[in-house]
């Protein structure tokens, strides 16, 4: 069976037709002709696997990773990077126009990543027996890897060390989480399926196995969807910087995965702020956006549900000597009443890929004081949905794409919304 690929869609797959039925195929490019085999048949479409490329795109390249196509981490390694950017920009614009029913003609800025490999500062390694790696594509099987081309090289070094470490542990963890700051300081989580009372090694021994830049290691167990820390060895913080702003990031907090793109993200947000009296930053984390934005107005409130991130944010406010910032531990998706009482003129938000709640949509639409919304998104589909809900009250003045995740289908964007007069 031969399929001609019309375009790539969000999720990384190519779209074509097979006997007038919509067909999705991974690891292809627009205008390619591909021999496929049927994998799944749905009511309105089929999913296929490529067997061979009959007509190849000039933008196809050889993937540098030997696990590409099996590991579920990458989607676009077969595409030259400039074409990846073009495809993502098209998908972002098409998605917000189609789902949000908007009529945007173009993006206002596109920012490729300085590094297209070895950029990720964080990973979660899965462990099962002698296998250490990531889940196989569309599976819970673990692909056993010796390195990942997306990870910073120091994290690949930790991966190698984990293999040696496991030989000395009676009880194996089921996951190892690694975070490496821009300067190379490392935090590690060893995650067990149940609570363990003792850990046989100290920080000195873990450094010998994993990295001499290891600052701290936490021993955790899973409890439902949560991780509970049982023991901490060493420090629980590392530090990141943006210009002259310093951020403490704890072992249980989050920071941007691609710190090489942090400047483009923050600059895009800041360039669209022309002063404010009261602002709120929702899903604020350790204050990554809150603290730089604080310098552009009178008062800003950061809202975050993760208590460890709030603690970091409070500390970051103090070390950066910013007195016009207040952080609140609160579920941002349920902060509608607070926002209505606060009456901000600026809203900044960076939600998860699920987007924002109906409560927030309603609050934004009904709060007369809100003049501008700056919406940072990692999912064009939920961004488009939310923009569609808000379009009767706010116009989308600008839309930017910042490629935080090269070699993957993920798309980071910034939408600037202005209250309509």
Residues involved in catalysis:
378
Q: Tokens 């945007």 appear where?
A: 104
User: How far is the C-alpha of 125 from the C-alpha of 148, rounded, in Å?
Assistant: 11
Task: Count Cβ atoms below 10 Å from residue 200 Cβ, excluding itself.
Answer: 10
Radius of gyration of the chain (CA): 23
Task: Please provide residue 109's backbone torsions phi and psi, each rounded to the nearest 5 degrees.
Answer: -175, 140
**Cα–Cα nearest to 187, from 135, 123, 144, 134:** 123
Distances (CA, A) of 110 to 363, 372, 402: 30, 21, 6
Distances (CA, A) of 247 to 133, 279, 287, 320: 30, 20, 8, 9
User: Nearest 5 degrees, angle CA 379-CA 248-CA 231?
Assistant: 95
Q: Which bin fits 416, alpha (ψ -120 to 50), beta or left (φ > 0)?
A: beta
**Cα–Cα nearest to 355, from 388, 329, 377:** 377
DSSP for 304-344?
ES-HHHHHHHHHHHHHTT--SEEEEES-GGG-HHHHHHH--
Give residues with Cβ within 8 angstroms of 83, minimum separation 6: 29, 59
Distances (CA, A) of 119 to 71, 80, 86, 359, 407: 18, 17, 20, 36, 11
Give residues with Cβ within 8 angstroms of 244, minimum separation 6: none
**Cα–Cα nearest to 345, from 305, 374, 372:** 372
DSSP for 2-29?
EEEEEEE-TTS-EEEEETTEEEEESS--
DSSP character for 32?
-
Q: Are 373 and 349 in contact (CB under 8 A)?
A: yes
């Amino acid at each position: 069976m031969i399929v001609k690929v019309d375009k790539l869609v969000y999720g990384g797959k190519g779209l074509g037709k097979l006997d007038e039925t919509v067909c999705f195929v991974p690891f292809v490019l627009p205008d390619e002709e591909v021999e496929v085999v049927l994998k799944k048949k749905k009511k309105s479409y089929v999913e296929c696997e490529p067997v061979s490329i009959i007509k190849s795109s000039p933008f196809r390249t050889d993937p540098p990773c030997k696990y590409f196509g099996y590991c579920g981490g990458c989607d676009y390694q077969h595409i030259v990077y400039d074409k990846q950017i073009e495809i993502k920009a098209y998908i972002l614009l098409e998605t917000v126009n189609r789902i949000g029913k908007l009529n945007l003609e173009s993006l206002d800025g596109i920012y490729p990543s300085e590094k297209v490999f070895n950029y990720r500062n964080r990973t979660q390694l899965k462990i099962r027996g002698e296998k250490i790696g990531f889940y196989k594509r569309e599976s819970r099987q673990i692909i056993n890897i010796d390195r990942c081309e997306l990870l910073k090289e120091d994290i690949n070094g930790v991966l190698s060390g984990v293999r040696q470490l496991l030989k000395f542990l009676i009880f194996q963890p089921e996951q190892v989480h690694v975070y490496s700051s821009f300067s190379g300081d490392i935090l590690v989580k060893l995650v067990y399926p149940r609570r363990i009372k003792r850990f046989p090694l100290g920080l000195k021994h873990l450094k010998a196995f994993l990295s001499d830049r290891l600052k701290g290691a936490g021993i955790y167990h899973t409890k439902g969807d949560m991780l509970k820390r049982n023991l901490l060895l060493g420090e629980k913080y590392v530090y990141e910087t943006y210009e002259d702003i310093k951020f403490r990031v704890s072992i249980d907090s989050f920071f941007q995965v691609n710190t090489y793109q942090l400047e483009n993200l923050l600059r895009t947000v800041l360039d669209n702020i022309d002063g404010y009296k009261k602002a709120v930053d929702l899903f604020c984390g350790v204050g990554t956006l809150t603290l730089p934005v604080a310098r552009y107005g009178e008062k800003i409130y950061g809202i975050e549900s993760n208590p460890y991130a709030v603690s970091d944010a409070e500390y970051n406010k103090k070390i950066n000597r910013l007195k016009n910032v207040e952080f609140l531990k609160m579920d941002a998706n349920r902060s509608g009443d607070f926002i209505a009482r606060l009456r901000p003129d600026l809203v900044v938000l960076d939600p998860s890929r699920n987007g924002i709640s109906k409560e927030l949509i309603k609050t934004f639409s009904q709060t007369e004081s809100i003049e501008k919304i700056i919406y940072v998104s990692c999912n064009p589909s939920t961004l488009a949905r939310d923009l569609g809900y808000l379009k009767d009250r706010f116009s989308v003045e600008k839309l930017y794409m910042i490629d935080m995740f090269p070699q993957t289908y993920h798309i980071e964007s910034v939408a600037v919304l202005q209250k309509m007069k």
